[in-house]
Chains A and B, each alone.
Chain A
Amino acid sequence: MSRTITTVKPGLQTCVQELPGREGFLEQGFPLSGPFDAWSFRQANILVGNDRDTAALECQFMGPTLTFDADMLIAVTGADMSPALDGAPIPMYATVAVSAGQTLTMGFAKTGARAYLAVSGGIATEPVLGSRAVFHQAGVGGHALIAGQTLPVGVSETSALYVLPESARPVIGTDRVWEVEALCGPNDDWLDEATIEMFFSTDWQIQTKSSRTGIRLTGPDFGFSDKALNKSPDHGQDPSNIIDHGYPMGAVNLAGQTPIILVNDAPSTGGFINPFTIASAAFWKLAQAKPNETLRFRRVDRDGAAALRAEIDAKTKPEILENA
């Protein structure tokens, strides 16, 4: 019996993702990729007995329909896409044993934007440049699922069924407003003082043109400091231009007057300033926020960001699981 999953309906850009992503090629322009909401991704993996960083599926806005060609354990986390097995709803954040021939359907995201489906043994596609993470836009490491495609699944001996306690799950609110922790820098000194205050007190709207490459925001105009306005012509003409430099993951990249948060599939270098950087512990919120929802940035320092990161890290370890 082949240990595979067959794609009946692909959903919207459903991709294999893996942690830590495609490390080591940033200088050649390959982004890290990997799951946008690593918190939900890791919880799906531990529920099926995998190492938390094992390759699994990221479903975006509209989930896939998949048939399992062998018995395995599955878990669905993140956005609620009404997962159902042979038509019967299945719980999220819990291990579910599926039999060969059963079909999982996932619909549109009722809350959040991205759901994760982990299978015991993990998705066993061939790694490219050291990772199974898919950078769909460039076709690196494969592409989004297409109808009829089969995915190989790794071997697993596990049969334990778990539930993830509610207190450890990410909370996807229904008020359409997200408080997102952000740090000043690296280029905050290119903005004037009032603009830095403005950034942390504005309701920013997420544009429809947002993806795993960047989250584009609509809001007030930015004002610049002397450093941006009276600079060497080598930096370029626009106040937001700077001589090409590396972009950190989570950078709030200012292209003219449009802030774009650079996320998993973003370019690694370029010629715009990055006045702020989103704390990595807040990435999952960017993954689950939908177009037209609101982001409010809360200023944290490096210690604050590290504490948030440690908090989530503890919630993605197998010790927190409860027996079903």
Chain B
Amino acid sequence: MAITQIEAALPGLVFHRPSPEAEPFKAPGDAVAVGDTLALVEVMKSFIPIEAEVAGTFKGYAAPDGESIEPGDVLCEIEVSE
């Protein structure tokens, strides 16, 4: 089992949930399918969904909710299923 780090491609603010009151997109231990939304990045007054390009098990967010990120920063980790 390999851990894949999902890196930010956009500069902006990262959000773990679709709206302030909602549950996070993923919690540690959740299954991840290709195309699942993992987080939102706010840039240019738009919220851009960050979608999983690998399937596996969600390990957790690395970038805190609501904080600013730069391209290359690790957003979250996924344990990739073989």
> A residues near B, CB below 8 A?
12-13, 60-62, 107-110, 208-213, 290-292
Contacts and interface: CB of A to CB of B under 8 A. Distances in A.
Chain B interface residue bracket vs A: 10 to 19
- Of A107, A210, A213, A291, chain B has the most CB atoms within 10 Å of the CB of A291
Interface string B30-66: 0000000000001111101000000000000000000
Given A61-B43, A208-B43, A213-B45, 16 more contacts: A12-B46, A13-B46, A61-B10, A62-B9, A108-B9, A108-B10, A108-B71, A208-B13, A208-B42, A208-B68, A209-B45, A211-B45, A211-B46, A290-B11, A291-B12, A291-B43
A238 to B, nearest CB: 23
A109 B13 CA distance: 16
Nearest to A213: B45
Contacts of A209: 42, 45
B71 A13 contact: no
B71 A110 contact: yes
A12 B48 contact: yes
Contacts of A12: 10, 43-44, 46, 48
Contacts of B11: 61, 208, 290-292
B44 A211 contact: yes
12 contacts: A60-B44, A61-B11, A61-B43, A62-B9, A108-B10, A108-B71, A208-B43, A211-B45, A290-B11, A291-B12, A291-B68, A292-B68
Contacts of A292: 11, 68, 70
Nearest to B9: A108
Contact of B44 (A61, A107, A108, A110): A61
Contacts of B46: 12-13, 211
A257 B13 CA distance: 22
Contacts of B43: 12, 61, 208, 291
Interface of B: 9-13, 42-46, 48, 68, 70-71
Contacts of A109: 71
A60 B12 CA distance: 13
A110 B13 CA distance: 18
Nearest to B68: A292
Contacts of B10: 12, 61-62, 108
A75 B68 CA distance: 32
Which 8 pairs from chain A and chain B are nearest by CB? A108-B9, A211-B44, A290-B11, A208-B12, A208-B13, A211-B45, A291-B11, A108-B71
A60 B48 CA distance: 13
- Of B11, B42, B46, B71, chain A has the most CB atoms within 10 Å of the CB of B11
B37 to A, nearest CB: 16
Contacts of B13: 208
A96 B46 CA distance: 33
A58 B10 CA distance: 16
A209 B71 CA distance: 17
Contacts of A108: 9-10, 71
Contacts of A107: 9
Contacts of A62: 9-10
- Of B44, B45, B46, B71, chain A has the most CB atoms within 10 Å of the CB of B44
B79 to A, nearest CB: 25
Contacts of B42: 208-209
B72 to A, nearest CB: 9
A186 to B, nearest CB: 26
